[in-house]
Structures are given as C-alpha cells and as structure tokens.
Amino acid sequence: MKKKKVKRRTVKKQVRKKVKRRTVKKQVRKKVKRRRTKKNVQIKKTKRVLKKKKIKQIQKIPTQSKNKEVSVPITPKYEIKKDISQQIGDIEENYRLNIDRAIIDIKIHKTERGLVYSVFIPEIDSGTEALLDDIRKDLITDTTISVGETADKKTVAKIKNKFMSDAHKILKEKVPEIAPETQDFLIGMLMQEMLGLGKIELLINDPNLEEIVIVNSKEPVRVYHKKYGWIMTNIIPKSEDEIINYSNIIARRIGRQINVLTPLLDAHVVTGDRANAVLYPIATKGNTITIRKFARDPFTMADLIENKTVSMEIAALLWLAIEYEMNVLISGGTASGKTVFLNSCMPFIPPNHRIISMEDTRELMLPEFLYWCPLVTRTANPEGKGEVSMLNLLVNSLRMRPDRIVLGEIRRQQEAEVLFEAMHTGHSVYATVHADTANETIRRLTNPPINVPPNMLTSVNLNVIMFRDRKRGIRRVFQVAEFMPGKEKITANILHRWVPETDQFVPHNQSLALFDELGRHTGMSEREIKEDMQKKIKIFEWILRNNLRDLKSIGIIMNLYYTDRERLYSIIKTNNVNEIKQPIKKQSEIKTYQTQETLKENFEEEKPRLKQVFRFKQKSRQVHSEKPKPISPTKPIKKPEKKEAVFPEIKSKSSIPVEFKKQIPPKKEFKPLPKPAKVFRPREQQRIIPQKKPTRVEVNEISKMREEIKKMEDELRQDYSNKLGKNLKKKGGF
C-alpha cells in the first residue's frame, strides 16, 4: 500500500508542474502581445504624424523592367540614438537645402538632451551603392585632375559641372527609366563624396551655421547655429580613419601635410572657410576638425543698424572719419564681431583710393567699385621653407603705393611698429586688436608683447570697442573713443557708449581731438561737420526705409556719393529705388541688344528669301571665277565672251522688310584717288632749296666752333712735325 501511495504522490507533483509551466507560458504570451500592441500603437502614431507633415516613408525607384518598381525606405541614415529618432519632440524649425540638386530636409527639434539638428537623408541600398561606385570609377578613368585645380573655387565648379553631366549620361544608360528626382539626389550625393567632405559638406552648405566641430568618431558632430547657438547633430563619423581622411583632403588641396610628426593643421576649405585639424594623441579624445564658416552674403552697415549693433550717429561719425583718411582701430574680445564691423566700414572708402588688405585667412569682402588688392599669409612647408609672414606682407605693401592699409589683427611688436610707422608716413590704417575697453587697448599696445612707444598712439584717431553678451546672444558697439596725449601717459576720451539696461547708445563726452584734426585738414568748421553728419544720417534712413541691405546696392550708393552726389540726392528725393537696384546701362549696349533681338525674330521669316539670294550669289561667283581653256597655237586666238550674271527679278521694293532696309547701309561706289604726280628735280635745283636763315646767336656759336677746330688742327700738325723731326735725328737724317 505504501508503494502505491508514493506513486500517486509523484504523479500529482508532475501534473502540478505541467500546469505551472502552461500558466507561465500563457503569461509570457500575454506580455509579448502587450508589447507588440504598444509597438504597433507607437508605429501608428508616427505614421499619422508623418502623414500630416506630408513626409513619404517609401520612395519607389523604377527599374529597367517596365512594370516592376523597387521600394527604398527613406529614413535618417545617421542617428544619435534610436530613442531620439523615434521620439521627435516639438519641432522648432524645419527647412530644406538644395545641394547640387539633391534636396535634403533639416529639422531642429527638442529632446531630453536638448535641441538636436537632424539631417534627414534617404537611405541608399547596397545595390545602388555598387552602381554609384561603378559610376565613380568611370568618371575617374575619363578625367584627370591635378592638385592645383582642386584648390581653386572656379575650377572646382567647372569640374563638378562636367562630372554631373557625365554622371547623368552614365546613369541613364544603366537605368534608363529612373525618375529625375532620384537621379538628381544620387548624383548630388556622389559629388559630395568625390569632390567634398561627404556628409559634412551638407553642413557647410547650410547658411544658418557658423561653426562645425567634429569631436571624434564616438560623439556626434556639433554645430553653432546663428539662432540657437551650439546644437548636437545626428551625424556621427564612421571611424577615426574617416576623420584623418577629411583632414588629409583639406591639407592636400593647399599643398601641405598632416601626420604624426606634424599633427596640427591650420588651412582653409575650397569655399574659403577656415579649417583647423588636430590629430590623436595631441587631441586625447580623438581626431578633431573645426571649420569656421564665413558669410557668403556679408553683413553691411544697414544690417548692423537694423540689428541695433550700432546707432546711426556712430555710423555717420565712422563714415566721416574714413572719408577724410582718419586711422581707426577696432578692438574687442573673441567672436565679438571685430572683422564683421571692419568689413561693414570698408564701403565708406572713396573709389579712387587703393586698398591693400592683409589677413591670415581671407575674411573681408568689399564691393566691386573699390580698388582693392587682398593679400594672405602662408605658413612654411615641412622643410621650413616658403613662409610668408604678416610682417613680410606689411613691408611689401608699403612699396605698392597704397592709400589705405587694412590689417587683420595686430599680434606682434614688429607688425605694430611697421603699422604705426605707416600711419606716421601718411597712410590711413584700419586694424583689429584683442581688448575689452578703450583703456585696455592702450595698456595692451604699450606693454609687452606688442610694446609700442606711447608717443606713436597719438596717430590713432578713433577706437571702436565691440562687445558680445553671451546670455542674450547679442553683439554691440560698447565704446567709441579717441586717444588723448598727456604729460605722463595717454588717456582715452569716450565719445559714445552703450547702456546695457536700456539697450541704447548715449553720447558720453564731446570730441577734443577728432573734430579739430578734421577742421585742420578739411577747413570745415564744427557746424559744417555736424551738418555733413546729418546728411549721412538721412542717407542711412533712406537705405533702411527701402531695405537696401545687400553689399552690391550699398556699394552703388557709396559710389554715387563720391562720383555724382547731386544725382544721389535727387534719387533720395524722388525715392527712385530702381536706379540703384537696376543701374542704367549704356546706350550702345541697349542698341546692340535691340538689333540682335529683332534679327533673331525676323530671321526665321526671311529664311527662304535669304536662301534664294545665297544660291544666286554662288552661281555668279562660279561664272566670274571660270578661267579660259588653253588654246592651241594653230587656231586663231579668240577673246572669252563675258557672261552676264542672272539675278532674280524683284517684283516690288516693298518685298524687302523695312527693318532690314534700316539696318543694311547703302553700298558706296569706290572711286580710286588720283595718284600724286612725281616731281623730278636735278641736283642743282635740289641744292638751291631755300633753308631757314640762322639767328645771330647761332652764327656766333658756329664761328666759335670753327675757330676752335682750326686751333686744334694747328696743334695736331705741330705735334706731328715735331715727332717726325725727332725720329729723323735718331736715324741720322735723310
């Protein structure tokens, strides 16, 4: 009995275990179902959001077969995390970029980490990547490019256009039924990889970005946006080798190297933007690249007045100082807008003055009407040769006869000494210095490392100090001062200052040196100087009223101010903005353009008549060009009969159009001029030709010359006879 009881108990235990297993399995299934339902709900929500925003999730690429299509999902290729790409929060800004015909969506949205700058690029399959590799190989085999061609912006644009046209042909041959949108996108991305820096070229072509930083291959690329500041992107480099490859491409285009021995690189990209690269292990986190972008459409003085960076009174004062060749120094902290402000002041220079600018990297952009020669420094090669420093450029520029010298930044003592010597020799100079106030600029210039003698600072007429408020994200002109000489030291007299509480510009002190020097050089009184400033303020008001903010239109206004001031004032009175937006062409250009248009319109109508005339002209030429055949001596010589050319009968004079009658000038009959009769004169008559009678002075001079010649001849004869007598005596006579 005991054995039976034991068996029953074991069976019951086994049954219970089976039941437990089944319940556990059921619970697991339920959990899995719940998870799946949650995922499906999330997917449905994302689909609804995407439908509302009209974003297509599937793009159909037609293949060679007519009725078959391949669907390619369009999703962001590079993502920081899956959570960020799925949970797109509130979108702050959304816009599109057209880069070499490839259209790319850009979104700035909020996440848990903060703002994210996400680039949405359609994902390319392995098949299309293989096709693009084949096209790349075909393009490389067909064309050869030197290193020098990749450094120039214009040649790169020509090469890119050629590559794009060839790539379009190859793609149509391989995939004839491809859609034009997909074709443009694929070729655009191919161009960025072949002639650019891959995905980073998309960021470089965004006009809203100022700085691009590749930290390393583990962190996303960071970007400085004009509106939002520093933002994280959804682009992450594949590896450290890719970053090294980008830095090598930048260095190779300039003819430099970056490697373990020389791990630092300071260069510029093809677009003109400044690039800096540091390799591992100097950068301990990994290889880094920093690209500082420069504005393609630079800020003008109208933009700075509208942004409240400067007031109209300060702008008018600077215009007056630059017009009459006063020396100006612009000082401020890092990224405070020194070079931007310097660039906005350059159009105030008259067009008949020669400008020479010297910079480490090309940042200044001046209007077309100015007589400008930009110079750039160059670092040494790996052997330590070929360096062109700022001092070399400064010394050389003084031999180029400049009227205005523009220096990017004063850094060393030698540069500062040469610059201040140029001020004393009569050149007007504009430069930038790192300092936060007017008194600090004096201390920085008069102390090491620059260490300029204090007496030389009296040649600086104006000092403009720039300030950047990082909290509010604004830049302002903090102070406008002039340097006053004293018994022991030089002090700064502040003319205008910025009040941060009210965000307004206030006059601080009256000018003690600037207006006196202007009056001394120009002969204007203080009242006349202020009237001139009021006229300039009215011109600024008119510019802002009509929104003439671009560099070209401001250049035209300044050129008119210096060349034809009355015309500019009449344009302002009548408010004729079209004359500045569309400057008047010359009459000769207009006439030629009109005649070409009329000829093009009437050419197709007159084609048949012109063909007939051309045929008959050919026949007449053949008739006139026919030569007589050779004749045998036995036969009598006969003169060739002249054949008259047959031309078509013109039914009426009205058949010729009136426009052609006006344009075709009447043929003039050629009448040879009669040859002048040759006059033969005998020698006697030629001698008798009357000559001008010499004056008394000439006669006296001629007589004196004759007397001197006679004396010389007599002396020579005596010497000759004496020598002969001596020789005869030695030989013993005859």
Q: What is the mean pLDDT of residues 647-655?
A: 46
> CB burial class (10 A; 0-12, 13-18, 19+) of residue 468?
middle
| Nearest to 96, CA basis, from 194, 187, 185, 164 | 185
Say whether pLDDT at 364 is over 70.
yes
Q: What is the mean pLDDT of residues 285-309?
A: 91
Q: Over the stretch 234-254, which tens digit does the pLDDT of each residue have?
A: 999 999 999 999 999 999 888
**DSSP states of 483-525:** EE--SSS-EEEEEEEEETTTTEEEE-S--SSHHHHHHHHH---
Distances (CA, A) of 251 to 78, 97, 257, 441, 704: 26, 27, 6, 36, 80
pLDDT score for 582: 64
**DSSP states of 393-443:** HHHHHTTS--SEEEES---SHHHHHHHHHHHHTT-EEEEEEE-SSHHHHHH
- Three-class DSSP category at 275: strand
| Cα gap 397→356, rounded to integer Å | 7
| Cα gap 344→363, rounded to integer Å | 12
pLDDT score for 179: 87
> CB burial class (10 A; 0-12, 13-18, 19+) of residue 126?
exposed
Q: Do domains 82-292 and 301-523 have the same CATH topology?
A: no
| Cα gap 560→557, rounded to integer Å | 5
pLDDT score for 23: 75
Q: What's phi and psi for 379, nearest 5 deg?
A: -85, 165
Specify the amino acid at residue 524.
Answer: M
More confident residue, 621 or 300: 300
Say whether pLDDT at 525 is over 50.
yes
| Cα gap 21→3, rounded to integer Å | 28
pLDDT score for 48: 55
**Please, are residues 494 and 438 in contact by the beta-carbon 8 Å criterion?**
yes
**Please, are residues 97 and 106 in contact by the beta-carbon 8 Å criterion?**
yes
pLDDT score for 489: 86
> CB burial class (10 A; 0-12, 13-18, 19+) of residue 227?
exposed
The two structure tokens encoding residue 417:
């000494």
Query: What fold is seen in the domain 82-292?
Result: Beta-Lactamase (3.30.450)
Q: Over the stretch 382-418, which tens digit does the pLDDT of each residue have?
A: 788 889 999 999 999 999 999 999 998 898 888 898 8
**Reported confidence tier of residue 684, pLDDT bands at 50, 70, 90:** very low
More confident residue, 673 or 142: 142
Say whether pLDDT at 499 is over 70.
yes
Q: What is the mean pLDDT of residues 265-286?
A: 90
Specify the amino acid at residue 230.
Answer: W
Residues paired with 223 in a beta bridge:
212, 231
pLDDT score for 290: 96
Instruction: Count other Cβ atoms within 10 Å, centred on residue 188.
Output: 20
Beta carbons within 8 Å of 507's beta carbon, 6+ residues apart: 313, 495, 496
Q: What is the mean pLDDT of residues 330-359?
A: 94
Instruction: Count other Cβ atoms within 10 Å, centred on residue 106.
Output: 18
Beta carbons within 8 Å of 304's beta carbon, 6+ residues apart: 310, 315, 340, 341, 344
| Cα gap 197→204, rounded to integer Å | 9
More confident residue, 717 or 466: 466
Say whether pLDDT at 652 is over 50.
no
Q: Over the stretch 685-703, which tens digit does the pLDDT of each residue have?
A: 444 445 556 677 777 888 8
**Reported confidence tier of residue 212, pLDDT bands at 50, 70, 90:** very high
Instruction: Count other Cβ atoms within 10 Å, centred on residue 110.
Output: 13
Residue in the structure block whose two tokens are 């191919």: 190
More confident residue, 293 or 540: 540
| Cα gap 327→405, rounded to integer Å | 10
| Cα gap 45→51, rounded to integer Å | 10
> CB burial class (10 A; 0-12, 13-18, 19+) of residue 137?
exposed
Q: What is the mean pLDDT of residues 663-683?
A: 53
**Please, are residues 424 and 456 in contact by the beta-carbon 8 Å criterion?**
yes
**Reported confidence tier of residue 302, pLDDT bands at 50, 70, 90:** very high
**CATH number of the domain located at residue range(s) 301-523 in this protein:** 3.40.50.300
**Please, are residues 310 and 304 in contact by the beta-carbon 8 Å criterion?**
yes
Nearest-10 crossing angle of helices 514-522, 312-323: 40
| Nearest to 410, CA basis, from 455, 382, 379, 446 | 446
**Please, are residues 194 and 139 in contact by the beta-carbon 8 Å criterion?**
yes
SS3 percent helix, strand, coil of the chain, rounded to 5, is: 45, 15, 35
Torsion angle, CA of 327/333/334/337, rounded to 10 degrees?
-50
More confident residue, 469 or 683: 469
pLDDT score for 75: 36
Q: Over the stretch 13-66, which tens digit does the pLDDT of each residue have?
A: 676 767 767 776 777 677 666 666 655 655 555 555 444 444 333 343 343 433
Say whether pLDDT at 108 is over 90.
yes
pLDDT score for 102: 87
Q: Over the stretch 167-195, which tens digit does the pLDDT of each residue have?
A: 888 888 888 888 888 888 888 888 888 88
Instruction: Count other Cβ atoms within 10 Å, centred on residue 431.
Output: 23
The percent of residues in the chain predicted with pLDDT above 90, rounded, is: 39
Helix (H) or strand (E) holding 617: helix 607-625
Please report, for the chain, the start and end positions of each structural domain, with discontinuous segments joined by +.
1-54, 82-292, 301-523
Q: Over the stretch 551-605, which tens digit does the pLDDT of each residue have?
A: 999 999 999 999 999 999 999 999 988 888 765 443 334 334 444 445 455 555 6
pLDDT score for 246: 93
What mean pLDDT, rounded, does the chain reach?
Answer: 78
Q: What is the mean pLDDT of residues 76-91?
A: 44
Say whether pLDDT at 498 is over 80.
yes
Greatest CA span in the chain, whole angstroms?
Answer: 188
**Please, are residues 559 and 371 in contact by the beta-carbon 8 Å criterion?**
no
Say whether pLDDT at 648 is over 70.
no
Edge-to-edge strands of the sheet including 474-484? 371-376, 354-359, 404-407, 428-434, 328-332, 462-469, 474-484, 491-499, 504-507
| Cα gap 264→266, rounded to integer Å | 7
